[in-house]
A and B are shown apart, each in its own frame.
Chain A
Amino acid sequence: MKQILILGAGTAGTMMANKLSKGLDIEEWKITIVDKDKIHYYQPGLLFIPFDIYKKEDVIKPKANFFPSNVEFIITEISKILPEENKVLFTDGKTIKYDFLLIATGTNVCPEETPGLKGNLWYKNIFDFYTLNGALELQKFFRYWEGGKLVVNIADMPFKCPVAPIEFVCLADDFFTKKGIRDKVDITYVTPLSGAFTKPIATKMLSELLEEKNIHVVTDFYLEKVDNEKKTIVSYDGIEIPFDVLTIVPLNKGDEMIARSGMGDELNYVPTNKFTLQSDKYQNIFIIGDAANIPTSKAGSVAHFASEIVYENLICAIEGRTLTAKFDGHANCYIETGKGKGVLIDFNYDTEPLPGTFPLPGIGPFGLLKNTKMNHYGKILFRWIYWHILLKGKEMPIESHMTFAGKNKVNI
């Protein structure tokens, strides 16, 4: 039997295991997926925990629920890939030889990389919401907080789900308004970018939205350290911003295992062909999800669109044909904006988010780059879709390649 080994059973790995188990001849292929964690976290749901909208139980399920019986699921930590020997080592001393390898080990937050971030104030006045623990601690804090300066800061680029911190400040505005203390809460969004978002048209739309909500935006702030005594964040050029509570998106890095394998860039992301999703160096290795260094968003929707490309190209590679599928970097994100509304953006490597309707041109039901109630329902529905359709690798009524149909050209 030949072996396909999938490293990481998060969003991307789980989708691939399901796709492959349906598509490959199971007499001929053994599919194995490995993860150190037996719990699957619905990461987009972490955003809602600090504001008491979701509970812990809403965002966790056993990983084992999501694999068909012909996929072998092993819980163990990956120590190292030996790509020259087509072999993976595990920390328990076992090894697995593979014919084809899929790397789907995602990205992690690394608060320890910023001086002072994990100091005295960690989980007292400083929280991340990118981990379940951080989100739960912040939930407890916000329940009893009576107001002050809330600073939301992104430590560095790139980070997964680049819209999440914008959603966070919008939901905070909503939350404190409902609590009746919005006038006592000063919200500041501090980013290393030169605007609220990277792409111009979406940045303009989102900046106006933040202004409307009286959320201050500080741009071009590149975090050097946190001063625990003075309760300030300090940039490399010496600018200090005081906070009473800091919500941080720490530096994101690929797993250390990638570095141990000598397969990553300076942030442990694996050099990947942005069109074929094959490793730049090894023909029998493909990378899917946040672990790849491709220039698009690190998001579940991107992993979903990429999964069809990886599937097709893996089959080509198995059959010794040239790789025919070409990824366009397609991303599609619902941005929760509070007050029961949301904005939807759809873009790829070459095209920035444009206004229009989605997925049906001229009809919708979702409005692109518009703040609507329907888009909010899209986000809420997404949790159900994630658990029941996306992870299981079922077809979704959305093309993997971005389309211009239903989009309007704009001049800014």
Chain B
Amino acid sequence: MVEKIIAGVTVNVNNEGYLENPAQWTKDIALEIAKEYNLTLTEKHFQVIDYLRKAHLNGETLTMRKVGSSGIVDIKGLYELFPGGPLKISSKIAGIPKPTSCV
């Protein structure tokens, strides 16, 4: 675990840059991390981020299919919003842990 200053706030991140404590997250942090992926966050991005944070706090396991059936965005849309690795990138921006697939 290392300390990092993102958008002027000191937060704890793991070696892949995921926030260790979702409570340290702010909207500015999201905007800042998004820049690493050349993303400019829109209203739609934030709807997805909100959903992810709520689901995480509820102790739910997040999967692509689950987000795709949330009614907020479908899987195709999720790829358009967060190209590359939609769930991994959106989780990082949302300040929640990297989603782990169970073996």
A-B contact count (CB 8 A): 45
B5 within 8 A of A: no
- How far in angstroms is the closest Cβ of chain A from B77? 10
Whether the pair B69, A347 counts as a contact (CB closer than 8 A) is: no
B27 at the interface (CB under 8 A from A): no
Known pairs A156-B65, A237-B83, A266-B65; A199 contacts B76 (CB<8 A): no
Q: Does B37 contact A (CB under 8 A)?
A: no
Let me know if B101 and A158 touch, CB within 8 A.
yes
A399 on the B face (CB < 8 A): no
- Interface membership of A296, Cβ < 8 A: yes
A197 to B100, CA, bound (A): 12
Chain B residues whose C-beta falls within 8 Å of the C-beta of A162 in the assembled complex: 103
Q: Which residue of A lies closest to B77 (CB)?
A: A236
B51 contacts chain A at the CB level, 8 A cutoff: no
Q: Which among B64, B83, B103 has the greatest number of chain A C-beta atoms within 10 A? A: B103
Known: A157-B63, A220-B85, A237-B83. A297 touches B75 (CB 8 A): no
A267 CB within 8 Å of chain B: yes
Distance between B39 CB and nearest chain A CB, rounded to angstroms: 15
Q: Does A193 contact B (CB under 8 A)?
A: yes
Q: Does B47 contact A (CB under 8 A)?
A: no
Main SS of chain B's interface residues?
loop
- Cross-chain contact of A267 among B65, B76, B78, B100 (Cβ < 8 A): B65
Q: Is the CB of A198 within 8 A of B100?
A: yes
Scan B51-73; emit 1 where CB is below 8 A from any A CB, else 0.
00000000001011110010000
CB distance from B93 to the nearest CB of A (A): 18
Chain A residues near B78 (CB, 8 Å)? 236
Separation in Å of the A377 CB from the closest CB of chain B?
A: 24
Assuming the contacts A222-B64, A237-B79, asked whether A347 and B103 have C-beta atoms less than 8 A apart, the reply is yes
In the complex, whether A331 has a CB less than 8 A from a CB of chain B is yes
Which chain B residue lies CB-closest to A297?
B103
- Expressed in whole angstroms, the Cα–Cα distance for A198 and B69 within the complex equals 24
The answer to whether A296 and B65 touch across the interface, beta carbons within 8 angstroms, is no
CA of A194 to CA of B85, assembled, Å: 10
Given contacts A236-B79, A237-B83, A266-B65, contact A296 B102 (CB under 8 A): yes
Are B103 and A224 in contact, with the CB atoms below 8 A? no
Q: Are B76 and A266 in contact (CB under 8 A)?
A: no
The distance from the CB of B98 to the nearest CB of chain A, in whole angstroms, is: 10
**Residue contact B102 to A266, C-beta cutoff 8 Å:** no
Contacts of B102 in A (CB 8 A): 157-158, 198, 295-297
B75's closest neighbor in chain A, by CB?
A: A236
Q: Which residues of A contact B (CB under 8 A)?
A: 156-158, 162, 192-194, 197-199, 220, 222, 224, 236-237, 266-267, 293, 295-297, 331, 347
4 residue pairs, one from A and one from B, having the closest CB atoms: A157-B101, A198-B103, A295-B102, A236-B79
Q: What are some 22 contacts across the A-B interface (CB < 8 A)?
A: A156-B63, A156-B65, A157-B102, A158-B101, A162-B103, A192-B64, A192-B101, A194-B85, A194-B88, A197-B103, A198-B100, A198-B102, A199-B103, A224-B76, A236-B76, A236-B78, A236-B79, A237-B83, A237-B84, A296-B102, A297-B103, A347-B103
